[in-house]
Amino acid sequence: MLERIGARSAEELFESIPAAIRLDRPLDLPEPVSEFELLARLKEIARRNAGGERLACFAGAGAYDHAGPAIVDTVVSRPEFYTAYTPYQAEVSQGTLQSIYEFQSLVCRLLGMGVANASMYDLGSALAETAHMARNITRRRRVLVSSSVHPAHLEVLRTYAHGLDIPVETVGLRDGVTDPELLRAALDDTVAAVAVQHPNFFGSIEPMPELSGITRAAGAMFVAAVDPVSLGALVPPGDYGADIAVAEGQALGLPLSFGGPYLGLLAAKKEHIRHLPGRLVGRTTDVEDRTGYVLALQTREQHIRRERASSNICTNQALMALAAAVWLAWFGRTGVRELARQCLSRARYLADRIADIPGFTIANTRPFFKEFAVLTPVPAADIVKQGLDHGLLAGVDLGRFNPEWRHLLLVAVTENRSRDQLDRYAEFLRREYAGARTAPSGGN
Amino acid sequence: MPNIPADLKYTKTHEWVRVEGDVATSGITDFAQQELSDIVYVEVTTLNATVKCEDPIGTIEAVKAVTDYYAAVSGEVIEANESLKDEAQKCNQDPYGKGWIVKIRLSDPSELDGLLDAAAYTDLVARSEHH
C-alpha cells in the first residue's frame, strides 16, 4: 500500500502528525479471534443488557414500550427501502419519495396541521427548530417554554438557541401544569413563541386551548409538543390553533433501542410552509400526466440558500419515518383510538391501585393520559433498582433530572402492559414499601 | 439588452426606484428578473418597519434560487404589493409596473443622489453580462 501511494515508510506517511500526539506503542487490543468467536463474545456482552424484552416496562419519560406489529419490520427491511438516509439524487427514488409523502400526509392528519416535513431526528431537535422558525416568522426574539417540558428536550432547545442568540425562558407551573397567569405575565411583543408539552413531562394534560389563546392574543406562535398516541384520545394541536406541532415518533412502531434512533415529527399551518426546516416531498404530475414525487421548495434549504436557509438540517430520518408511516397506516384512526383508550384505562387502574398503598401518593392533581408521577416513601432510585430483581422496569427516577424530585417516580403504562403485570407491580410496591418512612414534602 | 427606463433610479443590487412626493416605489429590474427566471414567491418581511438603505427587507424566490431583496432607500415600509402573493410572476411579466414590490416613505431624500441613473445602470448590466 505504501508503494502504491508513493510513501517510502509508515514513518514517512505519518510524519506530518506531531510526535507528541502520536502513540508510541501498539494499541491495547486482545488477540484476534475468528468471526464465530467474536459473535459469541458480542452476544454474551449483549445478554448483560436487561431491556424491555426481559422486564415489564413501566419506564417512559418520552420513550415508550408500545405495540410494534410485525408488518413494520417486514416493510422497512425491504432492500428497496433499507437505508437510514434521506434520498440523494432524490427523483430517481420515486418509491422512497412516495413513502415520505405518505408519511407527511399521515402526520398532517394525526396532528391536524396543514403541512408536515419529511421528519427530524427526534422531539428535541424538532422542538429546537421551532424556535428558529418562530423567530424568522415573527421577527421577534425570545422564546418561552413551559417548565413542564421534558428537561432533556429543553436542554436541546437551549443548545440550538444559544448559537442562534435566542433567549429561552421558562414559565412556571400551578397544579403541575403551565400556569396561564404566569404565561400571560411573561408575554410581550418580543416573544416569538411559547412551547408547551402535552401531556407534559409529568404526564398531566395541559390546558392547551387556554394557553394557545393567551399566546396568540399576544402575537406569538403557539408550539405544541405532543405524544402521537395520545391523539387517539385528545384533540389534535390544529384544533386549538397551534401554529406549529411537534411530536416524538418513537411510539409509532420504533423499538426503544436504548435511546435511538428516534423520529421527530414537525408540522405547521400551511401559511408557514416556506419557513419549515428540512426536507419536504411534494406530489406533482409530469408532462405525460403521470403522478410523480419531488423534493419541493428546496430553495429554503442550505445547499441553495446557504446561511439564510430555514435550517441546517439537510436530511431526515427516512427509515424511521417509513416505520411510523407503516404503523399509522396499519392501526388507522380506529386503531390509534383503541390504543389510546387502553393506555388511559390501564394507567388509571394502576394509579388507583398505587394510591391505595400506604405511603404512596399520585402527584398529579390534574388528569393524566398514560403516565403519572408517584410520590414515593423511599427514594425513587431505590425502587427502580429493586424492581430489576422482580422483573420490573419500575419507572423513571425523576431525581435524575432534579435533586428535589428524588422521591418522584414517573410511571408509564402502555397497552402492552397486561392486567397481570399491573397487579404484580402494585403488589411489589405494597410488599416492599407499604408504610415505609413518609416522603418529605415537595414534588412538582 | 434588458429594458432600462430612463426615468428611474437604480441600485447596484438590481432594484429600481420611482419617487413620487416623499414615497419611493421599488421593485427588481428587467435584468434581475431575466437572471432569476421564473419567480414563484415574493415575501416582504418588514412591512411597517423602519429600514435602512441596503437592508435586506424581503426575499424573492425563483424556481432555482432565492435572493434577498434590499431596501433601495431608508425610511418606513408603508406598503407591500399584496397581489404578488398569488401572482409572483408579475415580477417577470411587468417588473416596472404591476410587479412593483414595496413602497417606502423616504426618511432621507438626499440618498437618491447616491443611486445610479439609467446610463450608469446600463453600464453595470453590460459589465455583468460579460461575465
| A305 contacts B66? CB cut-off 8 A | yes
Chain B residues in contact with A299 (beta carbon < 8 A): 61-62, 64-66
Q: What gap in Å lies between CA A18 and CA B109, rounded to an integer? A: 62
| A308 contacts B66? CB cut-off 8 A | yes
Give the pLDDT of residue A87.
73
Same domain, A194 and A341: no
| B41 contacts A308? CB cut-off 8 A | no
Instruction: Check CB contact of A139 with chain B, cutoff 8 Å.
Output: yes
Q: Which of B59, B65, B68 sits opposite A304 (nearest CB)?
A: B65
State which residue of chain B sits closest to A136, comparing Cα positions: B45
Give, as one character, the DSSP assignment of residue A143. E
Task: Decide: A323 and A254 in contact? Cβ < 8 Å.
Answer: yes
Q: Before A199, cis peptide (omega within 30)? A: yes
Burial class (CB in 10 A: 0-12, 13-18, 19+), B55: middle
Give the pLDDT of residue A344.
97
The total domain count for chain A is: 2
Task: Decide: A126 and A264 in contact? Cβ < 8 Å.
Answer: yes
Chain B residues in contact with A139 (beta carbon < 8 A): 45-46, 49
Same domain, A90 and A239: yes
C-alpha cell at A353: 391501585
Has residue A194 been placed in a domain?
Answer: yes
Same domain, A129 and A277: yes
| A308 contacts B68? CB cut-off 8 A | yes
Give the pLDDT of residue A299.
79
Same domain, A106 and A79: yes
Instruction: Output the domain CATH number for residue A396.
Output: 3.90.1150.10
Give the pLDDT of residue A437.
66
- Could you identify the residue written with the cell 423511599? A378
Measure B81 CA to nearest chain A CA, in Å: 17
Per-residue model confidence as pLDDT tens for chain A (444 residues): 888 988 888 888 888 999 899 888 889 998 999 999 999 999 999 888 876 668 999 999 999 999 899 999 999 999 888 876 777 778 888 999 999 999 999 999 999 999 999 999 999 999 999 999 999 999 899 999 999 999 999 999 999 999 999 999 999 999 999 999 999 999 999 999 999 999 999 999 999 999 999 999 999 999 999 999 999 999 999 999 999 999 999 999 999 988 899 999 999 999 999 999 999 999 999 999 999 999 988 878 888 777 778 888 888 889 999 999 999 999 999 999 999 999 999 999 999 999 999 999 999 999 999 999 999 999 999 999 999 999 999 999 999 999 999 999 999 999 999 999 999 999 999 999 998 865 454 444
Has residue A408 been placed in a domain?
Answer: yes
Supply angle C-alpha B124, B130, B131, rounded to 5: 100
| A299 contacts B66? CB cut-off 8 A | yes
Same domain, A152 and A209: yes
State which residue of chain A sits closest to B56, comparing Cα positions: A308
Same domain, A299 and A357: no
Has residue A6 been placed in a domain?
Answer: no
Q: How many CB pairs under 8 A join A and B?
A: 19
Same domain, A410 and A387: yes
What residues does each domain of chain B span? 9-126
Give the pLDDT of residue A217.
98
Instruction: Output the domain CATH number for residue A122.
Output: 3.40.640.10
Average pLDDT over residues B21-34: 96
Give the pLDDT of residue A302.
83
Task: Decide: A132 and A300 in contact? Cβ < 8 Å.
Answer: no
Instruction: Check CB contact of B127 with chain A, cutoff 8 Å.
Output: no
Same domain, A312 and A345: no
B29-49 pLDDT tens trace: 999 999 999 999 999 988 889
Give the pLDDT of residue A333.
95
Last-in-domain residue among A327, A353, A380: A327
Same domain, A170 and A308: yes
The topology (CATH level 3) of B9-126 is OB fold (Dihydrolipoamide Acetyltransferase, E2P) (2.40.50)
Task: Decide: A61 and A396 in contact? Cβ < 8 Å.
Answer: yes
Q: Which range of residues forms the domain containing residue A343? A: 56-66+332-433
Same domain, A199 and A314: yes
Last-in-domain residue among A327, A362, A390: A327
Q: What is the CA radius of gyration of chain B?
A: 14
Give the pLDDT of residue B131.
58
The reported pTM is 0.87
Q: What gap in Å lies between CA B62 and CA A283, rounded to an integer? A: 19
Same domain, A282 and A303: yes
HSE-CB for B78 with a 13 A CA cutoff: 12
C-alpha distances in Å from residue A316, one per residue of A19, A223, A269: 41, 21, 20
- Restricting to A residues 415-434, those with a Cβ less than 8 Å away from any Cβ of B are none
B97-108 pLDDT tens trace: 999 999 999 999
Give the pLDDT of residue A438.
54
Has residue A153 been placed in a domain?
Answer: yes
Task: Decide: A343 and A413 in contact? Cβ < 8 Å.
Answer: yes
State which residue of chain A sits closest to B65, comparing Cα positions: A299
Instruction: Check CB contact of B43 with chain A, cutoff 8 Å.
Output: yes
Among B39, B66, B86, the residue to mutate for chain A (most A Cβ within 10 A): B66
Has residue A311 been placed in a domain?
Answer: yes
**For helices A123-138 and A151-164, angle between their N-to-C axes, nearest 10 degrees:** 40
Has residue A277 been placed in a domain?
Answer: yes
Q: What gap in Å lies between CA A237 and CA A116, rounded to an integer? A: 13
- Single-letter amino acid code for the residue at A371: E
Neighbours of A95 (CB within 10 A): 12
* Strand-by-strand arrangement of the A142-146 sheet: A115-116, A264-268, A244-248, A221-226, A191-198, A142-146, A168-171
B71-125 pLDDT tens trace: 999 999 999 999 998 999 999 999 999 999 999 999 999 999 999 999 999 999 9
> What value of ipTM does the predicted structure carry?
0.73
> What is the DSSP code string of B38-86?
SEEEEEES-TT-EE-TT-EEEEEEESS-EEEEE-SS-EEEEEE-GGGGT
Same domain, A79 and A145: yes
Q: What gap in Å lies between CA B84 and CA A88, rounded to an integer? A: 33
C-alpha distances in Å from residue A218, one per residue of A128, A324, A421: 21, 35, 47
Q: What gap in Å lies between CA A126 and CA A246, rounded to an integer? A: 6
Last-in-domain residue among A327, A362, A392: A327
